[in-house]
Structure 1
Amino acid sequence: MNKRLKLFYFLLIITLFCNQLHAQETFINNVNMGYLDKLVATAKRNYPEVKVRQSQVNAAHSTYTATKFAWFDGLTASYIYSPQNSINLATPTIFKGYQLAISLSIGQLLKTPATTNAAYETYKVAQYQQSEYMLSLEAQVKRFYFAYLEAMAELRLRSGAVSDASAAVKQLKYSFQKGETTFQIYNEQLNSYYNQNSFMVQAELATWTAKTNLEELLGTKLEDIK
């Protein structure tokens, strides 16, 4: 085996070994459940849709409270005043002075319980929808958080691969200039280096995208949450 081929195999083994080390990169160990709980709490406090759901619950509760007093709508009170010194021959009255009259609508009275019950059920539905949304929001925050950690792990892996490829290129360039390796081998490693850079750019974009998605739910920057 000639000297050039030995050098090529040596660099190939080094590159594969370094890639294997980087392949062990994982985001599981970076999951911070305490920090994740803070992210969920921040999203539930800041995200506008949460406030919309709370307003719907408040409105439904107000309607329910109002219907509990709806039976007063069927109650009508009036008064009649007959002066003490007047005589009405057309409609003579026995009582003089102020007279209070109260009338009650039986239909309204019978309808009120059903209206109140319907309003109560609407209120409960609003509460259930709010609870469902809170669970959905919490799950979404967790998914975006995990996606962000995954993207950062991928970025670290790609950054390491670029460093390895760069080191290999420098070594091959030195060997090529000394005539110890061919241009083809050097060019192949150079192309690998360019490819690794391209992968790292994609990983950077994925990381920023994942961070943006998460911060959209949080309503603030990740750096502001300690």
Structure 2
Amino acid sequence: MNNKLKIFCVLMLAVLSTSALHAQESFITEVSYPYLDKLIATAKKNYPEVKVRQAQVNAAKAALTQSKVMWLDAFTASYIYSPRNSLNLANPTFFNGYQIGISVNLGALLSKPFATRTAKETVNIAQYQQQQYNLSIEAQVKRLYFAYLEAQADLRNRARAVVDGEIAVKQLKYTFQKGESTFHDYNEALTSLYNQNSFKVQSELATLTAKANLEEILGVKLEEVK
């Protein structure tokens, strides 16, 4: 076997090994749906916008309760006291003692059912918005969780590619020192290894970014979710 064929075999072995690792690596099998449910529950517990939605529902319910008792505002009670031993010639009265009167504001009374109905619809709207946001945050947590797993899988691929590149460089260094390969071939292997290291650094950054994005919506560190 001549030198060029040996070099070609070494390089092809490294490439095929890396390609096989890329093909085998998948994050699908690492998806844990019970853990994902915990992530969603944590986000719903801690994320401020979720608390805002709940506060809006509570405020709407309080306004509904208030509207149900405000129908009493349409009634006004008053009383008049006429002493038994007094004589009022200007405004003579037939009754003595305390006299109670009740007046009704018909406009206010008739408007109360509409106000109560509006308050009920406000409660419904707040609840629908809360339900909609809950669905939205569930989908968002899932996307960020899957993106984090994908970034981890890609990082593992890059790390293995670096290992394969190091093996190839060692092999070519050995053959170069024995005069069985050229410096050009050895230099190309080194350049490929440097590139693989660069890709690995980028994957590390992507993994950290994916983790930070997930933790932002969780409100806690990922390690705290058990």
TM range (shorter): over 0.9
**Per-residue CA shift, 1:142-170, capped at 9, x if unaligned?**
00000000000000000000010011111
Match of residue 12 from structure 1: 11
What SS does structure 2 have at the residue aligned with 1:69?
Answer: helix
Unpaired segments of 5 or more residues in structure 2?
none
After superposition, residues 1-226 of structure 1 pair within 5 angstroms as 2=2, 4-23=3-22, 24-226=24-226
**Per-residue CA shift, 1:155-194, capped at 9, x if unaligned?**
0000000010011111211221221110010011100000
Residue type matched to 1:73 in 2? D
CA distance in 1, matches of 2:224, 2:155: 22
What SS does structure 2 have at the residue aligned with 1:92?
Answer: coil
- Count of residue correspondences: 225
What SS does structure 1 have at the residue aligned with 2:79?
Answer: strand
CA distance in 1, matches of 2:68, 2:86: 44
CA distance in 1, matches of 2:177, 2:85: 131
TM-score where L is the length of structure 2: 0.97
TM-score where L is the length of structure 1: 0.97
Instruction: State the superposition RMSD in angstroms.
Output: 0.9
Percent identical residues: 60
Q: CA deviation at 1:65?
A: 1.1
Q: CA deviation at 1:20?
A: 2.1
**Per-residue CA shift, 1:65-96, capped at 9, x if unaligned?**
11112211111011111112111111011111
**Per-residue CA shift, 1:102-139, capped at 9, x if unaligned?**
01111111111111111110110000000000000000
What SS does structure 2 have at the residue aligned with 1:87?
Answer: coil
Where has structure 1 moved over 6 Å in runs of 4 or more?
none
Residue type matched to 2:39 in 1? L
CA distance in 2, matches of 1:36, 1:71: 49
Unpaired segments of 5 or more residues in structure 1?
none
Q: CA deviation at 1:16?
A: 2.0
CA distance in 1, matches of 2:85, 2:178: 134
Q: Once structures 1 and 2 are overlaid, which stretch shifts more, 152-161 or 76-85?
A: 76-85
CA distance in 2, matches of 1:161, 1:86: 110
